[in-house]
Structures are given as structure tokens and as C-alpha cells.
Amino acid sequence: MSNFPTRRNDLGYERASVVIPTYNRGKKLERLIESILQGTYPTENLEIIVVDDASTDPYYEVLRSKYPNIRFLRHERESFPAQSLNDGINASSSELILVCDDDNVLNKDTLEVLIDVIRNDERVGVAGPVTFYLNQPDTIQYAGAIYGRFTRITRFLFSGAKGNDYLTHEVFEVDGIANCFMIRKSAALLAHLIPSRRIPWNGEDGYLQYKVKKLGYKLAVVGRAKVFHDVELTKYSTRPNLFYYALRSKIFFHRDLDPKSRYLIFHLCLPIYLIYYLNLSIRSQNPVASMGALFRGLIDGIRNKEGIVRF
């Protein structure tokens, strides 16, 4: 593991932003907001921006009234997470931005810990916590990910491990951080954010992070920062859209960001990905639609056909 300095800065708290992309999860969004407001980082130094992707959940109006100091942005039509993330980053007024999916709960000091690491090491462009399962808070879902050198298969670090004591003092470099991460706005803008019609969903955050890494920044997981993700250990979304983008976005990711030689090797490994997602689609609630979406994603990815696709 490559360690980075975590020097304590005594200059006081600086302003930071939290961007929350959300879609039809009003109650979960409220739970996340409360975990932020009850944390150790002073709320007067926080800007919270919720980007609502055309939700039909009426509870969002309740939240607008309950949290008048939170900025709510809303899409008129569902545009998928990449556009929500771009809009939130553009709207933020801080250099340090925590991006967090709405189905999470932050540990009380997570914001403070991530800010302490990223602001004290200019080499770190993205910093993220260790993600635990909310319903099994002693089990790690992942602690960042690395990509296979040739196959580019994503390997989530420490997945399924119990506890976190052995990571508490670690800050280590990864290739991507899913679900919750802090990013420098200047680095995100220099990387030109996410091409939202090309990578609308599934891997959009990793796409942005990897572009930041290619600029020379480091992506770091901070062992003493924690977030708890409200997802089952074996759960996989049954929406055909996700199967479509799972494969298309993966192809675009490596086509766009890898050297040509490495992308060609990845291309030869596509059957591995297809078999993996076929196994998941067969076990979904709608296997026919899921498999159809998966193969369409494969074909569109190979043909380099981008755009928003809905099923």
C-alpha cells in the first residue's frame, strides 16, 4: 500500500460542499441528510446540494420544507446519475466536494477525516471512505477498487472482510472509489466532468475519477473514514437499464481512457464480462428483458453508439 501524509491542520474548518444525486428515495435521502447534519463537521461550513433526477416521490416536497438551507436542484426528465453529478459539481461553491449516493449513512467524522486528508496533500485529487453494509455494519462492502492490468476486471478491495481495525491507519491508492467520495472541484473541471450521454450511468463516477487520475492526481481510500451502504450483500438491480449500461459503460470507459494496446486486450476479455452479467440477468426478476438489454449494451458498446437509452 502507498501511504499518504495525514497531517493535522490547525487553521480551522473550511467550507465544503456535499452533492447528493437522488431518485425516488425520499426517506433514504432524509436519513443521509440527518447523518451529515449530526456529524462532527460544523454545518455552518457545509453547503448541501441535492440533485433530484425527476423523482415522482412526493416526499421531496416535505424535505424542501424541512431543510430550507439545503439547495434542491431538479431535472424535468430523468437524465441518470452522470448528469446529476455534473450539475451538482457545477453548482457547488467549494473546492472540496463530497459526492454521496442517497442510500448511504455517513459516520459522524467521515467528512472531517476526508477533508483533513485531501486538503493536506495536494497530490490527492479524490479521497473516499471504506464502505460497509448498513445492515451488517461490521462487514466491508469494498474499500476502493483496482483494475486488472490487462483484463481490466474490477477488483473491489477487502470485500466481505470483517471489521476495519487493520485499515484504521491506512491511506492507500486505488483506481476507483464507488458510492461515496470527495473530489477537488478544480480537478473535476480540468477533467471536463463526465460525458453524460456517453456514460450516463453505471461507472460514471469511476470514469470521472480515472480522468482525474490521468491528470496526475492520486485516488486514495482513507481507512479511518466510514460510510454505511443500504444494500443487500447479494442484491443486484433488476432494472434492465442497469444491465444495458453495465456493459456499454465498461466498454466506453476503457475505449476512452486506456492506451490502445490495453484496450485491445480488454476487448478480447469481453466474454468474461458477458458471462458474469448473463448469470446476474438470469437470476433477475425479468430475465428476458435483462438479457435483451445486456446484449444491446454489448452491441452498442462495440459499435461506439452513445446516447440515453431507456427500457
Looking at the structure, tell me whether residues 98 and 183 fall in a common domain: yes
Contact 309, 294 (CB under 8 A): no
State the residue range of the domain holding 96.
Answer: 16-229
| Domain-located, residue 1 | no
First to last CA, the chain: 42
Looking at the structure, tell me whether residues 193 and 257 fall in a common domain: no
Looking at the structure, tell me whether residues 146 and 206 fall in a common domain: yes
Rounded Cα distance, 188 and 267, in Å: 28
Phi, psi of 165 (to 5 degrees): -60, -35
Looking at the structure, tell me whether residues 244 and 225 fall in a common domain: no
Share of the chain above pLDDT 90, in %: 86
pLDDT at 310: 87
Contact 73, 50 (CB under 8 A): yes
Residue 24 is placed in which grid cell?
A: 425516488
Looking at the structure, tell me whether residues 55 and 204 fall in a common domain: yes
**pLDDT 10s digits, 174-201:** 999 999 999 999 999 999 999 999 999 9
| Domain-located, residue 5 | no
Rounded Cα distance, 147 and 252, in Å: 15
Question: Which letter does DSSP use for residue 216 in this model?
Answer: T
Tracing cell 462495440 back to the chain, one arrives at: 302
Q: Which of 229, 262, 292 is the last residue of a domain?
A: 229
Would you call 119 helix, strand, or coil by DSSP? helix
Looking at the structure, tell me whether residues 192 and 252 fall in a common domain: no
pLDDT at 244: 96
Mean pLDDT on 65-91: 97
5: pLDDT strictly greater than 60:
no
Q: Which of 203, 229, 255 is the last residue of a domain?
A: 229
pLDDT at 2: 43
Q: Produce one character per residue of 102-113: b if its CB has 16 or more CB atoms within 10 Å, e if not.
A: bbbbbbeebbbb
Looking at the structure, tell me whether residues 168 and 48 fall in a common domain: yes
**pLDDT 10s digits, 203-228:** 999 999 999 999 999 999 999 999 99
pLDDT-derived band at 285 (thresholds 50, 70, 90) equals confident
| Domain-located, residue 10 | no
pTM above 0.85, yes or no: yes
Looking at the structure, tell me whether residues 115 and 255 fall in a common domain: no
Q: Which of 181, 201, 229 is the last residue of a domain?
A: 229
Q: Which residue has the higher pLDDT, 7 or 228?
A: 228
**pLDDT 10s digits, 91-127:** 999 999 999 999 999 999 999 999 999 999 999 999 9
Number of domains in the chain: 2
22: pLDDT strictly greater than 60:
yes
231: pLDDT strictly greater than 90:
no
Question: Which letter does DSSP use for residue 167 in this model?
Answer: G
Q: At 26, which CATH number?
A: 3.90.550.10
Minimum mean pLDDT among 57-61, 79-83, 208-212, 218-222: which range?
Answer: 57-61
Looking at the structure, tell me whether residues 55 and 169 fall in a common domain: yes
Phi-psi domain of 46 (left: phi exceeds 0; alpha: psi -120 through 50; beta: other)? beta
Looking at the structure, tell me whether residues 197 and 216 fall in a common domain: yes
Contact 73, 52 (CB under 8 A): yes
9: pLDDT strictly greater than 80:
no
pLDDT at 264: 92
| Domain-located, residue 98 | yes
pLDDT at 239: 81
| Domain-located, residue 21 | yes
pLDDT-derived band at 34 (thresholds 50, 70, 90) equals very high
7: pLDDT strictly greater than 50:
no
Contact 12, 43 (CB under 8 A): no
Contact 200, 124 (CB under 8 A): no
pLDDT at 4: 44
DSSP notation for 47-101: EEEEEE-S---THHHHHHHH-TTSEEEE-SS---HHHHHHHHHHH--SSEEEEE-
Looking at the structure, tell me whether residues 62 and 106 fall in a common domain: yes
pLDDT at 13: 74
pLDDT-derived band at 237 (thresholds 50, 70, 90) equals low
Looking at the structure, tell me whether residues 123 and 194 fall in a common domain: yes
| Domain-located, residue 121 | yes
| Domain-located, residue 93 | yes
Rounded Cα distance, 73 and 75, in Å: 7
| Domain-located, residue 167 | yes
